[in-house]
Amino acid sequence: MIRIGIGYDVHRIASGREMWLGGVRFEVGFGLEGHSDADVAAHALCDALLGAAALGDLGTHFPPGEARWRGASGGTLLGHVRELLVSAGWVMANGDITLICERPRIAPRVPDMRAALAAALRVEPAAISVKATTNERIGFIGRGEGIAAIAVATIESTR
């Protein structure tokens, strides 16, 4: 059996924070606001995987008020989601992420992001696609107030 899930995440730009996207640190002088590392790419992929397996969502498994997840990396969250999938009889077949931001430039770091996300999920980098687009300076993303990500994931039954 094969299932497909969709995930979405968005975080505000925040000064004084590190910028983590797809498990990779970007040196850009600002970060994203959030309880964890606010890695929108990893979070969107987590939600897509959880949705495909009908296992709830990010907020269900990683409540923002829970100290255990404060500052947790996107890779840590993905590793936990992978364990949930395996326990429920699923494995990830592929993940496709689109980042929506005016900056930073994503393309030069795509290979690093694919490798980091794949390592967290224990899959080959070929199973992960990362791409980006701008919001053409429209809305809160276009004004540089936030970054969003959309992800689609395919999972396969192991049973």
pTM listed for this prediction? 0.97
Write down the pLDDT at residue 116.
98
Rounded to the nearest integer, the mean pLDDT of the chain is: 97
Q: Which spans in the chain are helix H?
A: 40-52, 58-61, 74-87, 110-121, 139-142
- Supply φ then ψ for residue 83, to 5 degrees: -60, -40
pLDDT in tens, 78-94: 999 999 999 999 999 99
Q: Determine the average pLDDT of the residues in 53-67.
A: 93
Q: Determine the average pLDDT of the residues in 124-133.
A: 98
Q: Residue 71 carries which side chain, given as an amino acid letter?
A: G
Write down the pLDDT at residue 127.
98
What range defines the domain where residue 125 resides? 2-157
CATH number of the domain to which 18 belongs? 3.30.1330.50
Percent share of the chain, pLDDT over 70? 100
Q: In total, how many domains does the chain have?
A: 1
Write down the pLDDT at residue 91.
97
Are the CB atoms for 99 and 41 separated by under 8 Å? yes
